[in-house]
């Protein structure tokens, strides 16, 4: 059995490693030579829209998936005519455009931050009038890890901010006074069966995920059920197959959706060690038509991203309960080079271990 994976980053690598345990081969499509995923399968080095490469994926793989959301929708559409590809083009198209995504959330009764579409400086000024400041201006497309967005505190910033983002279509959002950021990962298989993992608490800085705790502390049954229902509703609306991540803001007992990622997600890395079935394995099971695995938690976990430069490995490995994952990437400022999962008996121990890892890293 062979699975085609578009994208050769660390998510592809971990999908491929998970596939190896099931004796499933991975064939990656990735434009950059020697990508992170190369240790986990063969790589076709070609652009994501290279028809010859796509034809090969379709010919040689039972099913194709992707590990990044900036795959051209046309690529997924093209493949959909030739081979099973999950998630399908509809989910990808929704996730690639913040405006489409917000309209989708609303159409499904999911609460979100107040927003206005912005296609010009005039619309931005009108949006600032309407929403007030501070607010966040985000490009509709190609924004991730905090790129393509600006925090606006002063109306004078309007024209400069719009230009700084490239004068492209944007949305202006109110700043949500959230208590914390959470995410929920959910999976749906080809027969429509679904499962969710427990809510995860995520800490960002500069728009980049720094560390997570799973399950999130102090989540009562109602909040988890609310998140489960929200994620399941989105999976069903999209007729989705595979793992979907939903990023959330918690405000009191409410959850506001921020965005979806139609793929495995950084906030689900803990599930490799911490859950009975990881996000990577369940994504593969779902797209291959295999039964989903149970998502129960084995031990509470923390997950710390290693960004920009690697700390001293022997110090890192000396942290109790630490499991190290390196992605084989060259250090570069802000780049995700690996992550450390720390396991522990309870949230107090997890927090202490997260802090011990963070003390050794820039994260």
Contact set with ligand AMP (CB under 6 A):
113, 136, 143, 146, 173, 175-176, 181, 204, 207, 247, 258-259
Nearer residue to ligand AMP within complex by CB, 136 or 284: 136
Nearer residue to ligand AMP within complex by CB, 76 or 136: 136
**CB of 135 vs ligand AMP, minimal distance in Å:** 8
**CB of 247 vs ligand AMP, minimal distance in Å:** 6
- Read off the tokens for 319: 């942290």
Residues with Cβ within 8 Å of residue 30, at least 6 apart in sequence? 6, 7, 8, 9, 12, 37, 43, 44, 45
Asked whether the CA dihedral 301, 215, 363, 277 is positive or negative, the reply is: positive
In 3-state terms the chain splits into helix, strand, coil percentages (rounded to 5) of 35, 30, 35
170 contacts 136 by C-beta, under 8 angstroms: no
**CB of 128 vs ligand AMP, minimal distance in Å:** 14
Run of H or E including 107: helix 98-107
Q: Go through 165-182 and write b for each residue having 16 or more CB atoms within 10 A of its CB, e for each that does not.
A: beeebbbbbbebebeebb
For residue 161, whether the previous peptide bond is cis, meaning omega lies within 30 degrees of 0, is no
CA distances (Å), 261 to each of 96, 145, 180, 311, in order? 9, 12, 19, 29
Nearer residue to ligand AMP within complex by CB, 148 or 321: 148
**CB of 355 vs ligand AMP, minimal distance in Å:** 20
Q: Report the residue number whose CB is nearest to ligand AMP.
A: 176
Nearer residue to ligand AMP within complex by CB, 36 or 266: 266
Nearer residue to ligand AMP within complex by CB, 57 or 124: 124
**CB of 142 vs ligand AMP, minimal distance in Å:** 11
**Residue found by looking up tokens 């129960």 in the block:** 296
**CB of 329 vs ligand AMP, minimal distance in Å:** 21
Nearer residue to ligand AMP within complex by CB, 131 or 319: 131
**CB of 205 vs ligand AMP, minimal distance in Å:** 8
- Read off the tokens for 198: 């427990």
**Residue found by looking up tokens 């997260």 in the block:** 354
> Rounded to whole angstroms, how far apart are CA atoms 29 and 76?
13
**CB of 51 vs ligand AMP, minimal distance in Å:** 31
Nearer residue to ligand AMP within complex by CB, 158 or 286: 158
For residue 98, the number of C-alpha atoms closer than 13 Å in the C-beta half-sphere is 27
Cα 172–chain centre separation: 22
**Residue found by looking up tokens 């995504």 in the block:** 101
Nearer residue to ligand AMP within complex by CB, 71 or 172: 172
For residue 307, the number of C-alpha atoms closer than 13 Å in the C-beta half-sphere is 18
**CB of 261 vs ligand AMP, minimal distance in Å:** 9
Nearer residue to ligand AMP within complex by CB, 13 or 265: 265
């Amino acid at each position: 059995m062979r699975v085609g994976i578009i994208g050769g980053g660390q998510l592809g690598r971990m999908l491929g490693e998970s596939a190896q345990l099931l004796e499933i081969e991975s064939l990656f499509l990735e434009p950059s030579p020697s990508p992170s995923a190369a240790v986990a399968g063969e790589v076709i080095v070609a652009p994501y829209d290279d028809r010859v490469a796509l034809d090969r994926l379709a010919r040689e793989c039972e099913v194709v998936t992707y590990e990044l959301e900036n795959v051209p929708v046309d690529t997924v559409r093209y493949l959909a005519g030739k081979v099973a590809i999950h998630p399908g083009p509809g989910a990808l198209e929704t996730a690639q455009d913040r405006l489409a995504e917000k309209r989708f959330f609303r159409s499904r009764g999911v609460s979100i931050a107040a927003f206005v579409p912005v296609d010009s400086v005039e619309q931005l000024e009108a949006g600032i009038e309407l929403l007030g400041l501070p607010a966040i201006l985000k490009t509709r497309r190609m924004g991730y890890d905090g790129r393509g967005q600006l925090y606006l505190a002063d109306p004078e910033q309007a024209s400069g901010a719009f230009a700084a983002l490239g004068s492209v279509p944007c949305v202006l959002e109110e700043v949500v006074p959230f208590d914390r950021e959470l995410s929920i990962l959910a999976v749906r298989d080809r027969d429509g069966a679904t499962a969710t993992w427990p809510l995860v608490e995520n800490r960002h800085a500069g728009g980049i995920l720094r560390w997570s705790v799973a399950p999130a502390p102090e989540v009562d049954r109602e909040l988890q059920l609310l998140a489960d229902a929200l994620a399941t509703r989105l999976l069903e609306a999209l007729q989705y197959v595979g793992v979907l991540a939903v990023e959330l803001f918690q405000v009191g007992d409410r959850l506001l959706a921020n965005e979806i990622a139609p793929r495995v997600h950084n906030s689900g890395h803990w599930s490799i060690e911490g859950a009975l079935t990881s996000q990577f394995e369940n994504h593969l099971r779902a797209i291959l038509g295999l039964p989903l695995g149970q998502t129960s938690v084995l031990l509470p976990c923390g997950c710390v991203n290693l960004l920009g430069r690697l700390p001293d490995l022997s110090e890192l490995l000396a942290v109790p309960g630490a499991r190290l994952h390196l992605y084989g990437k060259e250090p570069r400022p802000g780049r995700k080079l690996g992550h450390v999962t720390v396991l522990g008996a309870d949230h107090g121990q997890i927090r202490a271990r997260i802090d011990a890892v963070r003390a050794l890293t820039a994260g």
